[in-house]
């Protein structure tokens, strides 16, 4: 397994880290401001030759390691027929491929970013899970996806408002890099995405939830639930065997208590498996007393899973039960199915192969 990738880049450095690096190299830290302006406001991937940089910064950029840019190039870009979803496939320095999705309307776009190449968690319905784990992304490789999304939106006179870590990978299996990337992306001196508009989605890595709570990170947390008994959940989400529902829900309660924030639950609806009103009532029982919002996603078909996508009316009936119990509940738009907008599906269509949880955890 490749744990730490090959190429460090300017996108790996938070503002304070960049200041420290400049200082260490005998350059005044004040130059960080011009460099961040170029990287995150002008969205300039080739800052080296900029005439507006003062000579010390130009010299610094020209020497030493860790200043590689660009680090991710878009090799495929697909727009859905409905015009609301765009999918970007990136190639990284070692030719690994990850994807990001841009969804939404002018003025309120959401970018969905990847945190790993592949995923070790092996959820049976997920294209990325079917692919297996390849490697963690560096912070800069996550930041680069956000920069590219912002570049596209800026060219349309728009800007990136919402961010979800719901692309390929399990964010809490790559905790440090994800949090570092989010600190960079939300820094007001850079891309300036408001922390409360950023959501980290986890399959239920309990130590990650506890750590996230204790950091009092201002980002939102979503927990992908999918089932209300250990037997059903383990069949869909194998890591449930490691962190069963009782532990997961305890961690959720701890998060709610420590963070004081609302928690989001994700539920992928699969026809005949977890889409009955009775299942919805069981969710209500599990989360009773929590300040929680439930997000429903109708299954996106994948080649490795024979589950069926429920109709819109089944999803509506499911939502009604949850809403009637007093929990906000939304159905995520089933958009972009024609661009394979399900997690990992574009990449899966092109490449196969990777490791699975049993080999790694």
Residue 248 binding result from ligand SF4, ligand SAH, none, given CB thresholds of 5 to 8 Å by partner type: none
1 to 40, contacts with ligand SAH by CB under 6 A? Answer: none
Q: Please report how close the Cβ of residue 105 comes to ligand SF4 at its closest, in angstroms.
A: 26
Which residue number is nearest to ligand SF4 in terms of Cβ? Answer: 129
Asked if 123 is an active-site residue, the reply is: no
Task: Provide the 8-state DSSP code for 236.
Answer: H
Phi-psi map region of 26: left, alpha, beta (phi>0 left; psi -120 to 50 alpha)? left
Find the length of the chain. 361
> CB under 5 to 8 A by kind: which of ligand SAH, ligand SF4, none does 145 bind?
none
Return the number of the residue (38 or 198) whose C-beta is nearest ligand SF4. Answer: 198
**186 near ligand SAH (CB under 6 A):** no
316: number of Cβ within 10 Å: 12
Residue 277: which residues within 8 A CB-CB, separation 6 or more?
317, 318, 321
- Whether 343 is catalytic is yes
Region for residue 66 given its phi and psi (left: phi exceeds 0; alpha: psi -120 to 50; beta: otherwise): left
Asked if 294 is part of the footprint of ligand SAH (rule: CB under 6 A), the reply reads no
Pick the closer one to ligand SF4 by CB: 326 or 353: 353
Alpha-helix runs per DSSP H in 197-294 = 206-214, 230-236, 245-259, 277-287
Position 292 contacts ligand SAH (CB under 6 A): no
Q: What are the residues binding ligand SF4 (CB under 6 A)?
A: 119, 121-123, 126, 128-129, 169-170, 203, 343
Nearer to ligand SAH, 45 or 126 (CB): 126
Q: Checking DSSP bridges between strand 133-136 and strand 198-202, what pairing results, if any? A: unpaired
Catalytic residue among 119, 252, 329, 343: 343
Q: Are strands 160-165 and 198-202 parallel, antiparallel or unpaired?
A: parallel
- Nearer to ligand SF4 by Cβ, of 169 and 310: the residue is 169
State in angstroms the smallest separation of the CB of 22 from ligand SF4.
37
Shortest distance in whole angstroms from residue 85 CB to ligand SAH:
14
Helix intervals (H) in the chain: 15-24, 31-36, 55-62, 127-131, 139-154, 175-186, 206-214, 230-236, 245-259, 277-287, 312-324, 345-350, 357-360
By beta-carbon proximity to ligand SF4, the closer residue of 169 and 208 is 169
In our burial notation (b when 16+ CB lie closer than 10 A, e otherwise), range 317-353 reads: ebbebbeebebebebbebbbbebbbbbbbbbbeeeee
Q: Does 166 bind ligand SAH (CB under 6 A)?
A: yes
**DSSP secondary structure string, 111-127?**
EE--SEEE-SS--TT-H
Cβ 37 to ligand SAH shortest distance, Å: 32
Q: Which is nearer to ligand SF4, 131 or 147 (CB)?
A: 131
Span interacting with ligand SAH, options 4-12, 70-78, 200-208, 353-361, rule CB under 6 A: 200-208
Cβ-contact 112, 120 below 8 angstroms: no
Per annotation, catalytic residue among 19, 99, 170, 180: 99
- The verdict on 343 binding ligand SAH (CB under 6 A) reads yes
| Binding flag, residue 125, ligand SAH (CB under 6 A) | yes
Query: How near is the Cβ of 173 to ligand SF4 at its closest, in Å?
Result: 8
Binding segment for ligand SAH among 9-17, 174-182, 196-204, 312-320 (CB under 6 A)? 196-204
Are the CB atoms for 112 and 126 separated by under 8 Å? no
List beta partners, residue 175: none
The binding site for ligand SAH (CB under 6 A) comprises 125-126, 166, 170, 201-203, 224, 266, 268, 297, 299-300, 302, 342-343
* Active centre residues (catalytic): 99, 343
């Amino acid at each position: 397994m490749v744990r730490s990738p090959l190429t460090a880049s300017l996108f790996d450095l938070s503002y304070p880290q960049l200041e420290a690096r400049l200082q260490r190299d005998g350059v005044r830290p004040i130059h960080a401001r011009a460099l961040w302006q170029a990287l995150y406001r002008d969205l300039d991937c080739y800052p080296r030759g900029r005439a507006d940089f003062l000579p010390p910064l130009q010299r610094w950029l020209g020497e030493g390691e860790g200043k590689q840019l660009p680090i991710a190039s878009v090799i495929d870009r697909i727009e859905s027929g409905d015009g609301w979803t765009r999918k970007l496939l990136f190639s990284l320095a070692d030719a690994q491929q990850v994807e990001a999705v841009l969804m939404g309307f002018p003025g309120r776009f959401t970018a969905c970013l990847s945190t790993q190449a592949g995923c070790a968690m092996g959820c049976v319905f997920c294209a990325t899970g079917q692919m297996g784990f390849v490697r963690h992304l560096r912070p800069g490789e996550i930041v680069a996806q956000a920069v590219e999304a912002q570049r596209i939106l800026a060219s349309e006179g728009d800007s990136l408002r919402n961010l979800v870590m719901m692309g390929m990978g399990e964010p809490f299996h790559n905790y440090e890099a994800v949090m570092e990337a989010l600190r960079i992306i939300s820094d007001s001196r850079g891309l300036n995405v408001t922390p409360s508009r950023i959501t980290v989605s986890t399959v239920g890595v309990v130590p990650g939830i506890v750590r996230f709570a204790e950091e009092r990170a201002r980002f939102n947390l979503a927990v992908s639930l999918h089932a209300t008994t250990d037997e059903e959940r383990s069949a869909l989400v194998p890591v449930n065997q490691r962190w069963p529902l009782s532990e997961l829900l305890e961690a959720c309660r701890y998060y709610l208590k420590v963070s004081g924030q609302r928690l989001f639950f994700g539920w992928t609806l699969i026809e005949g498996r977890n889409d009955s009103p009775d299942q919805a009532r069981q969710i209500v029982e599990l989360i009773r007393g929590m300040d929680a919002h439930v997000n429903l996603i109708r299954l996106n078909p994948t080649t490795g899973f024979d589950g069926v996508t429920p109709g819109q009316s089944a999803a509506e009936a499911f939502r009604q039960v949850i809403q009637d119990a007093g929990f906000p509940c939304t159905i995520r738009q089933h958009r972009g199915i024609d661009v394979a907008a399900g997690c990992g599906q574009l990449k899966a269509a092109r490449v196969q192969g990777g490791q699975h949880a049993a080999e790694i955890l």
